[in-house]
Chains A and B, each alone.
Chain A
């Protein structure tokens, strides 16, 4: 190890053109990285700028022309979209759908994960593999029987339908992630709690849950983004039956289909639908990254 460190500087000096070539290489590296960043940013910037431009401008010139005529920018698209295009009620619907559809699966999964990690019972490992194996089921395979089941209970079109469905769909991954995290907590903590007379409920609420916060945070962001951004499940269980309860994704998708000429306020609507997930994501990115790196099984 020490010999490596010692020989490193000599390697740099042996080739005469090294520093120059290296500097050119660095320049090329920065160029490529910055180019890639630009490619990834430009589409969103384009939408953002267009969301502040009046109809006539959007129809006749590209968003980049606003750089030279910033005076054309206006807030009228946003006032229109919030007032008349039904975006504000849809925003509230999205919140009403997403919050329980995030909380329920995490709590239900936490109960199961605790049982899988800290209680012993016959068939535990097999049952756990079966639960994780349910990840193979694509949501499409469930739609038709569930629609018919919901019809019996008059749930199609209700928020409740989406809360229940998203809980079922999110559980295999949630149980997998939480069980792995809870299983890696130190055994001694639970043993000494048990010796001190703590029940499983106390151990769960006072020890397991607080110590699992990093995994729960990752999962919460994951599920929140999944449900907030979901279009398909909402279309199936709510979209057709009750447009009143439609979330933002459906309303924005409908705008794309029905507008044709009304492109100018589509940009504002899309941007409003992105605002909350982007805010959540940018503030809690660290947890999210940890979550997907730790549990990249989800398909």
Chain B
């Protein structure tokens, strides 16, 4: 049989059948146990597949990476914190770290700011759902395809030649440019350009969540303020913004984590060249270009330590929500 056909059959029929089969089989397994013990055993049979996956793919490797980060390139000797000392002393990784800070600040300000602005603006027009779809659609596009889309936006031709990139064609008649986007190192906007591409993708995410929170604000409250003569700006500053703050905080944590983990856009558009390196890409290069799993592990652990406080905020909020329920 054609191997592709076999794969297709496994994919469509085999996988769901095995999983449903497992849960049906648990009741047969339970018969082995005395009647009274069954309620105590049953939950663990239901949890077993999930816990096994979580252990093998998240818990065990995290511990493994932590240990590996204390070993040398080939994993033969423990070298203490040398890999971390390298990370915080090497000009390449420090440059990547600096770029990640730019990513965090700029991406959060741009996506959350624009997301809020758009959510508030489209709330007042009748084609709101269409407008929101337009802003939201890039979220379905892979970072790889988004990179291709924006490489076409950023194309640079030398002055005097017809500009084929949308951005340079737009700015050249205005007397600025053409600008050498993503082609030379000392052009300090390169990282910012990559952040703009990601902003294009993620603003819709922020907009949708902020918009949902906006709809939850009591309309009579806003109307009362307007009747009392408050300007739109005062209504925003005094009522809308304070009420949106918890939502903005939650959205920001998601974006900060996205910025910390930034990889695809950098890998596809520049592969870290032209001063655009980020830590996730430098980890990939340590692993596959230099074969140094020790250093790669250290970078991964630094990344996780940076994410923990941000995620802790999120999980605390989740627990607070649970308490209300």
A residues with CB within 8 A of B? 1, 4, 7-8, 11, 29-30, 32-33, 36-37, 40-44, 46-47, 50, 58-64, 92, 95-96, 99-100, 103-105, 107-109, 111-112, 114-116, 119-121, 124, 127, 129, 131-146, 149, 159, 163-165, 167-169, 171-172, 175-176, 183-184, 199-201, 204-205, 225, 228-232, 235, 240, 248-249, 252-253, 256-257, 263, 266-267, 269-271, 273-274, 277-278, 280-282, 285, 289, 292-293, 296-299
Inter-chain contact B11/A96, CB cutoff 8 Å: yes
Interface assignment of B138: CB less than 8 Å from any CB of chain A: yes
Closest to B258 in A: A299
Could you show 8 A-B contacts with beta carbons less than 8 Å apart?
A62-B166, A63-B166, A112-B49, A112-B51, A143-B296, A145-B64, A205-B23, A229-B144
* Central interface residue in A114, A225, A232, by most chain B CB within 10 Å: A232
Q: How far is the CB of B124 from chain A (nearest CB, A)?
A: 6
Give the residue of A29, A144, A145, A292 whose beta carbon is less than 8 angstroms from that of B208: A292
Closest to B64 in A: A145
A58 to B287, CA, bound (A): 37
A184 to B268, CA, bound (A): 43
A92 to B8, CA, bound (A): 10
Closest to A167 in B: B53
Inter-chain contact B149/A240, CB cutoff 8 Å: no
Inter-chain contact A138/B46, CB cutoff 8 Å: no
Interface assignment of B152: CB less than 8 Å from any CB of chain A: yes
Closest to A11 in B: B227
B residues with CB within 8 A of A? 4, 7-8, 10-12, 15-16, 19-20, 23-24, 26-27, 39-40, 42-44, 46-47, 49-51, 53-54, 56-62, 64-65, 68, 118, 121-122, 124-125, 131, 133-145, 147-153, 162-166, 169, 200, 203, 205, 208-209, 212, 220, 223-224, 226-227, 229, 250-251, 253-254, 257-258, 260-261, 263-264, 267-269, 271, 280, 283-284, 287-288, 293, 296-297, 299-301, 303-304, 307-308, 310-312, 314-315, 318-319, 325
Q: How far is the CB of A124 from chain B (nearest CB, A)?
A: 8
A230 to B297, CA, bound (A): 21
A282 to B199, CA, bound (A): 20
A278 to B61, CA, bound (A): 34
Inter-chain contact B142/A96, CB cutoff 8 Å: no
Q: How far is the CB of B140 from chain A (nearest CB, A)?
A: 4
List of A residues within 8 angstroms of B304 by Cβ: 136-138, 140-141
Give the residue of B27, B46, B68, B137 whose beta carbon is less than 8 angstroms from that of A199: B27
Inter-chain contact A111/B46, CB cutoff 8 Å: yes
Inter-chain contact A107/B46, CB cutoff 8 Å: no
Inter-chain contact A296/B166, CB cutoff 8 Å: no
List of A residues within 8 angstroms of B144 by Cβ: 229, 231, 248-249, 252-253, 270, 273
Give the residue of B23, B153, B227, B263 whose beta carbon is less than 8 angstroms from that of A8: B227
